[in-house]
Structure formats: C-alpha cells, structure tokens
Amino acid sequence: MNILVTGGAGFIGSHVCERLVQGGHAVWALDDLNDFYDPAIKRRNLDAILALGGPFTFVQGDLRDPSAVNALFAGVRFDQIIHLAARAGVRPSLEEPALYQRVNVEATVHVFEAARRHGVPKIVMASSSSVYGVNAKVPFSEDDPTVSVISPYAASKVAGEALGHVYHHVYGLDVVMLRLFTVYGPRQRPDLAIHKFARLLVAGKPIPVYGDGSAARDYTYVTDTVDGVLAASRKKFGFEIINLGESRTVSLTRLIELLEAALGRKAVVDRRPSQPGDVPLTFANIEKARRLLGYAPQVDIEQGIPRFVQWFLAQSV
C-alpha cells in the first residue's frame, strides 16, 4: 500500500514509518521539521528510516497550508493516512493556545479534506489520554465523557476526534482515533519527562518535580504503541475510538527510582508547586484494544526504562 504518515520524522512517527517500510509498504513521511525541539533530531530519525533501503519518501511541508497538502495528494494516490502530526504537550499549550488550535485542529481539517477530495478511504489518527481531563473514574474507558479537559492541548484533541466522527458520518471515511497514553522509548522527545530527567541525572542537575511526586501516568513503550497503530491500520472500523496504554499506573516518584537504578545515579529533586493543566492520573482501560486490535502490551516499565537508558547513553557517546 501507499501510506502517508504525517509527523513521520518525529518520535512515534519515525517508528511507525520504519515498521511500515519493513512490512513492504511504500511510505511517505510529511513533516515540517519545526523548532519545537532541535530539527536535527528529526533528521537523524529520517536517516534511520532511509538506511533501511525500502520505498520511503520524505516531504517537508506544513499541514496548515492547504495548497501544499493538495499538491502532495495530487501527485500520489494514497491508500491510507496515519495522522500523527501535532503540536504536543500540555504545558507548552498553556503558553500558545491559538497555535495548538491551528496545528491540531485546522491542519487536521486539511488532512481530512485532502482524504475526502482525493478518495483516500482510511485515516488512523493519534488522539491523547489528555482528553479524559480530571476523570474520577479509573481506569479511563472510551465511553467516558470528555467534557472536563483542562488544557488547550487536550481541547484540540477533543476537537480532532469530533472532526473524525463528522468525516466518517457525512463523507464515509473509515476513521480510527487512538488515545495514546504517555509513550516513551528510543527517540523520545527531549522535552518529555523520562528523557529530560535522564539528561539532568547524568549532568548531576536537580530534577524539577511538580507536586509531591504522587502524580501517576500510564507509561507505554513505543513498540507497544506502534503495534497498536499498525493493527488499527489493517482493519476497517467505520468510526472507533480506542485507548492504547499499558493499563498500569506508575508514580513520578517510582519513575525517578527506576531511572536512578538504570543510570546508577542518585537524583536531586527540586520540589515545585503543581502546574495548571496537569492531571493527577492517567490509566487506560485497554479491553477494547485487546478485543478489536489483538493489542497486548509486551514491555512493562521495569523493562522499558533500562531499554530507553541504553539508547540514551548510546546517543550521548
């Protein structure tokens, strides 16, 4: 198949592209290589995909520009889109809420419109566990209400899910929304907690911890997430929303302990007040993913952190 992966130079996107190329698909990665973090990191991700020697094409472009999007679709007949491109992160969205709406909502409309106009029948799109907001019911299930979001990032993802439903209902596109839960592993963005904490630990610098360390996340190793993304790409669903998590919570304090053990360093913790927009807990009910996708996470946090650290140290040499 001809598959377009938006955000294909990023953390999760590059892993998805690799798997697709290894599976014999022709893959196009569309990415604007913006400076949210060092674009050189994304270029290294692309080099790793190109080194596979398979049918892979990188296109630099901005999804906010409909003419650029249409030009790409006019030149290639895509069988499917895996839409991973987004401005990510709760805290940065508090500083630039309008940017997050332009990238995560307006640009998503351009992707759906291009699919509709050019006859692409299927879109798999990354949503986020942040749509659950401050949800008192745990674990989080796909039919839980999403009216208690507490960040512009989360609001943009709720809007993206709504758009997906509209384009299925009105235009007949097959749409799967995957709510991802705190993905980590090799190539993780440098601003995310595990990568940031590892860097500070190695440098002997304090680790900023917002709150008392009890905040817990459902950390999901990237290979498990990619398994779920590819499984969603292989079946027809109509319209579905599916959680992809590990279905286990790990506190911030426990996460730091695991990093200390893997790096052989003791952390200096800098306690700070809780941040607006941060939810106290994420916890995925993955029964739907198991049933519909055959999803079965393989890498728990005790295995995943040492694997991440191995990659991290290799990059630091």
Catalytic residue among 100, 132, 153, 295: 153
Angle at 115 between CA 111 and CA 116, to 5 degrees: 115
Residue 92: is the preceding peptide bond cis (ω within 30°)?
Answer: no
Pairing mode of beta strands 122-128, 80-83: parallel
Are 90 and 102 a contacting pair, CB within 8 Å?
A: no
Task: Note if 221 is an active site residue.
Answer: no
In DSSP terms, 208 is beta-bridged to 270
Q: How far apart are CA 81 and CA 92, in angstroms?
A: 27
Q: Which amino acid is at 148?
A: S
Residue 95's Cβ-count burial label (10 Å; 0-12, 13-18, 19+) is: exposed
Q: How far apart are CA 243 and CA 229, in angstroms?
A: 11
Report, as residue numbers or ranges, the catalytic residues.
153
